[in-house]
Amino acid sequence: MGCGSDDVNVVLSLGDMPPSNAFLTEADLGNPEKRYPLDLAFCSTCGLAQITVSVDPEELFGEYAYFSSYSTTMLEHARSIATRMIEERALNSESLAMEIASNDGYLLQYYAEAGVPVLGIEPARNVAAEASERGVETLCRFFGGELAEELRGADRRAHVLHANNVLAHVPDINGVVEGIGRVLTDDGVAVVETPYVRDLVERLEFDTIYHEHLFYYSLTSLQRLFERNGLRMVDVERVPIHGGSLRVFASPEANAGEPSSAVVTLLKEESQLGLDTLAYFQGFAQRVEDLKERLTETLADLKAQGHRIAAYGAAAKGVILLNACGIGADTIDFVADRSEYKQGRFMPGAHIPVVAPGRILADMPNEVLVLAWNLADEILEQQDDYRARGGRFIIPVPHPEVVA
Mean pLDDT of the residues in the chain = 93
- DSSP string of 78-136, one letter each residue: HHHHHHHHHHHTT--TT--EEEES-TTSTTHHHHHHTT--EEEE---HHHHHHHHHTT-
Q: Do residue 235 and residue 333 come from a single domain?
A: no
For position 69, what pLDDT does the model report? Answer: 64
Lowest-confidence pick of 117-121, 124-128, 152-156: 124-128
Lowest-confidence pick of 72-76, 159-163, 174-178, 265-269: 72-76
Q: Do residue 270 and residue 302 come from a single domain?
A: no
Please indicate, yes or no, if residue 327 is contained in any of the structural domains: yes
Q: Do residue 135 and residue 247 come from a single domain?
A: yes
For position 63, what pLDDT does the model report? Answer: 59
Query: In total, how many domains does the chain have?
Result: 2
For position 1, what pLDDT does the model report? Answer: 54
What element of type H or E holds 4?
none
Kindly tell me if the per-residue pLDDT of 67 is higher than 80: no
Where in the sequence is the domain holding 370, given as residue range(s)? 296-403
Q: Which residues, listed in sequence order, are joined to residue 250 by a DSSP beta bridge?
A: 190, 233
Q: How many residues does the chain have?
A: 404
Q: What is the pLDDT of residues 336-375, one digit of tens each?
A: 999 998 999 999 999 999 999 999 999 999 999 999 999 9
Q: What is the mean pLDDT of residues 77-100?
A: 97
For position 65, what pLDDT does the model report? Answer: 56
Q: Do residue 255 and residue 364 come from a single domain?
A: no
Kindly tell me if the per-residue pLDDT of 64 is higher than 70: no
Quick one: pLDDT band at residue 273, thresholds 50, 70, 90?
A: very high
Q: Do residue 127 and residue 270 come from a single domain?
A: yes
Please indicate, yes or no, if residue 30 is contained in any of the structural domains: no
Q: Do residue 304 and residue 172 come from a single domain?
A: no
Q: How far apart are the first and last CA of the chain?
A: 45
Kindly tell me if the per-residue pLDDT of 385 is higher than 80: yes
Q: Of 257, 281, 305, which marks where a domain is finished?
A: 281
Task: CATH number of the domain at 109, please.
Answer: 3.40.50.150
For position 2, what pLDDT does the model report? Answer: 65
Q: Do residue 224 and residue 189 come from a single domain?
A: yes
For position 319, what pLDDT does the model report? Answer: 97
For position 68, what pLDDT does the model report? Answer: 64
Kindly tell me if the per-residue pLDDT of 20 is higher than 60: yes
Identity of the amino acid at 298: T
Please indicate, yes or no, if residue 214 is contained in any of the structural domains: yes
For position 242, what pLDDT does the model report? Answer: 84
Quick one: pLDDT band at residue 62, thresholds 50, 70, 90?
A: low
Task: CATH number of the domain at 373, please.
Answer: 3.40.50.720
Distance between CA atoms of 88 and 309, rounded to whole angstroms? 47
Q: Do residue 304 and residue 276 come from a single domain?
A: no
Lowest-confidence pick of 34-43, 71-80, 295-304, 349-358: 71-80
Distance between CA atoms of 38 and 15, rounded to whole angstroms? 6
* 354-355 and 367-370 strand pairing: unpaired
Q: Are 77 and 84 in contact (CB under 8 A)?
A: no
Q: Do residue 318 and residue 394 come from a single domain?
A: yes
Identify the three-state secondary structure at position 9: strand
Quick one: pLDDT band at residue 6, thresholds 50, 70, 90?
A: confident
Residue 366, Cβ density class (10 Å: 0-12 exposed, 13-18 middle, ≥19 buried): middle
Distance between CA atoms of 117 and 158, rounded to whole angstroms? 10
